Structure 1
Amino acid sequence: MSSFTTRVVVMISGSGSNLQALIDAQESNELPIKICAVISNKDNVKGLERAANHNIPAFVISHKAFPTREDFDARLMEIIDAQGPDLVVLAGFMRILTPGFTEHYEGRMLNIHPSLLPKYQGLNTHQRALDAGDKEHGVSVHFVTAELDGGPLVLQARVSIAADDNADTLAAKALKQEHVIYPLAVKWFSEGRLQLQNNRSYLDNKELPLEGIDLNDAEY
């Protein structure tokens, strides 16, 4: 198990509720991490307020200021690498990242997605689950690769879909689970237990199933 504090950069585009979950876990000493910077591609979002409230350095880098995705990602990498992170956490960062970026951080970048991947990659996941008549929905943590929402899965949590659920109520159910499983996955990584090897996720040197670990089966 790792004995050092894992340096983390968190990337956001909005409210930053998962950022807050990580901040809370850090400050309660549940996670051996130090969030050394928050990066947003949008100004005036709640996540930046959260960073300021906890004295975390924050950077706003608007993608609109760059002619290409490659130029934007190159600037992102400069800012991130200057922080010396061990882990990059995507927490509602709503930009498609270039292969050059994802390869640069391969094995040390995590994302959380509001569906039971591989179902419903991309946007509007809650409505898509409802439209499909699914009985359950959920959230997934995965390592980031060049494939959009397609990297090796680490951990999933499920929620039941009620007959009166709409996209908003289902999103609220899913978000509660995000705040549980994202800190847990970051904890595993920061303890040196979670790794990416040969494009597969490993926990405690054991290859995880393709669907990752179900929260109900997770050993804390």
Structure 2
Amino acid sequence: MPLRPGGSATDHVYDTLRRQIMAGRYAPGVQLKEEQIAESLSVSRTPVRAALQRLVGDGLLRSATNRGVFVAEWTRWDIEDVFELRLALEPLAAGLAAQRATEEQIAEMTALTDRMDDLADETFRERLQDIQNANHAFHDLVIQAAGSPRLAQFALSLTGMPMIVGTFHFYDYMDMRGSVQHHRELIEAIKAKDRYFAAQVMAVHLRVTHEIFKKNQTSAQE
């Protein structure tokens, strides 16, 4: 993965390692060594060290005092469980949001989707963090609009997990455009107060994300 124009060496290392970790290239518990990574990516150890610390902050790596950094213990089945739980909870939330969302919440969903739309051009990787932030806020808002504190308690605990927040690292341009379109379809379903349609749109949206994730895991292991 070449260093993109205008991107820092730390960003390059961070993006590369995040994709590799999430794709399962490194087994849970494996130590990541600065020198080996620096050599493989043709950079100095300084940006590698900074990138590793960012990944620790993301929850994808764990740091052990005087021992280094290790891949967090996310197994394949942990990830599958998270996706299955989201598929159980977020379509339900979307359906309830179609019945209960306020005009202000719908307007904010639209504004967040417009922001994603503006950012998601062919150079979207240069603004990936901003896109992820808008997407995360959109999903959280749909959950809040469901008006169910108990549902929100469970669902919101899933949307912030590191394996979920970083899925856009696997997207290409057409995947990203499809994600924005799903958001717009969901907003239309909520505006129409169509509980069934809203739940179905969210289910399709999450399944597409899951399939993209699984495809990249498979590619990394071949």
Query: Under TM normalisation by the shorter chain, which class is it?
Result: under 0.3
Higher relative contact order (CA 8 A, sep 6+): 2
TM-score by length of 1: 0.27
TM-score by length of 2: 0.27
Structure index of larger Rg: 2
Q: If each structure's strand is expressed as a fraction of its own residues, which one has the higher value?
A: 1
